[in-house]
Structure 1
Amino acid sequence: MNNRNRGKNTGDDALFGSEKQIDKLKSAVRDMQYLLSRNYPEKASADLVGNHYRLKTRQIQALRGASASEILVENRKSKELEISDLKNKTIYLDGFNVLILLESLLSGAYIFEGLDGCFRDLSGVFGTYKRVNQTQKVIELVAEFFQKSQAEKLIWIFDKPVSNSGRIKQIILDYAIENNLNWNVELEFNPDKFLAENSEIVVSSDAWILDYCKNWFNLIGYLIKEENLFINLVKMF
């Protein structure tokens, strides 16, 4: 196992660890939603609000993840399912989105709750996925959720072009076989489009997927409550 995790960046405590900074971010999210709800472009809105509040790059990244127009927030919430809705259903899970977010959460990184009730982090995959100390625990948490949900099947979807996607696919399949789980893992060239268009129920916190999918389940929110996970939470509203 690798001695690495997805914890905080140096300087994150200064950006997100004080009441003063969180109050500033909440004000920024309110202003951002005001602009987005009046059809201002996202990047221009983030630049304007970021300059006004003198936000640093990572604060602007958190601001963009947490913000959405009033119409988009309503649309996302109208499609959100309860755990009871998953019984006997097939669930499609946005592999790297869920894996990296939960790895970050378990590593003590700051996690941001946005206006849509979704949780997001500041990590990402930049061409290569590297397994970390918390990867196995994440797979176990997904397995516990799957069994409690009484869903029929769970299909993990990963980005085919990302290096090591084949390796994580094999790790998950091996775990599923060992634990007699009805799981499958698929590699897609355009996973976001695939998830939005081909699945009845999606697990993701990716904003674009949430906007275009049929229905979605807030797995991170569920696990935080159900498993009583410790979380470095920044509530952005």
Structure 2
Amino acid sequence: MNPLAQRHRNAHPDDERLFNDPQLRQLKAAVYELCWLFDRGYARHSTIKLVGDHHQLNKRQRLAIGRAACSEGEMRAREAKRLELQRSEGRPLMVDGFNLIITLEAAMAGAVLLRCRDGCIRDLASVHGTYHQVGETRSVIELIGRTLALFHPSSVQWLFDRPISNSARLAQSVRTIAEENGWNWRAELPDNPDMVIAASKAIAITSDSAILDSVQHWTNLPAYLIEHHFHDAWLIDFS
């Protein structure tokens, strides 16, 4: 077995306590307060600290509310650029590779997922400069491929951050699986995929807030996959 594919992106051992029903009531109040403050122009970092301190949230809970919240303006602007997957027929797609794969690895392993105010599905994982394939990685890539094939995009370009360890290995896995299945995919390793995606006219597949605010169009593939394939996902709804 590949030594890089022996682990899973499981739930954090504290998540049962951090996201139980009493905590969720408090977290949803915190997200509401964050959104209210964002709507009035308060800075993101200091506002998350303010609300987190007020509710005595730990680091992981603060990460969750920060990923879940956005301003009304951001939400409406992102929604205006969102296309249904059916609109991808005959059009190129550009995939934020780590962003998509890690979210679905987390979903497949039963980790916490967030349905955020802008409708995106986000996880609580982070790469920190190193990525390791897990037991679900191949299944995730194959599920993405089978799903995208239903909508007949003209091409699919995957981007992985070159500076992240093992990005080349993951890109090669994507190429190999695509070749095995006859999918018209490319996998590339730019130094800054965010800039490439933001500047592209292709339909973006990402839940990264900064990219969503810059792209021309995007499609919410994680939400589609969660709805159709992960009915038992641990999904916390902050929308």
TM range (shorter): over 0.9
For 1:104 and 1:228, how far apart are their aligned partners in 2? 11
Q: Is the 8 A contact 1:22 1:236 kept in 2?
A: no
Gapped runs of 5+ residues in structure 2?
Answer: none
Aligned residue for 1:26, secondary structure, equals helix
Partner residue of 1:207 out of 206, 209, 230: 209
State the superposition RMSD in angstroms.
Answer: 1.0
User: Residue 10 of structure 1 aligns with which residue?
Assistant: 13
User: Residue 170 of structure 1 aligns with which residue?
Assistant: 172
TM-score, normalised via structure 1 length? 0.97
Q: Is the 8 A contact 1:223 1:229 kept in 2?
A: no
CA displacement at 1:58 relative to structure 2: 0.3
For 1:127 and 1:56, how far apart are their aligned partners in 2? 23
Counterpart of 2:215, as a letter, is: C
Post-superposition CA distance 1:11-48 (Å, at most 9, x none) = 111001x2211111111111000111111000111011
For 2:201 and 2:140, how far apart are their aligned partners in 1? 22
For 2:43 and 2:210, how far apart are their aligned partners in 1? 15
Aligned residue for 2:141, secondary structure, equals helix
Alignment of 1:171-190 (within 5 A): 171-190=173-192
CA displacement at 1:51 relative to structure 2: 1.0
Aligned length: 236
Counterpart of 2:28, as a letter, is: K
User: Residue 155 of structure 1 aligns with which residue?
Assistant: 157
CA displacement at 1:103 relative to structure 2: 0.5
Alignment of 1:106-185 (within 5 A): 106-185=108-187
CA displacement at 1:223 relative to structure 2: 0.6
Post-superposition CA distance 1:142-194 (Å, at most 9, x none) = 11111111111111010011111111111111111111110000111111111
Segments ≥4 residues shifted beyond 6 Å: none
% same residue: 37
User: Residue 49 of structure 2 aligns with which residue?
Assistant: 47
Gapped runs of 5+ residues in structure 1?
Answer: none
TM-score, normalised via structure 2 length? 0.96
CA displacement at 1:229 relative to structure 2: 4.1
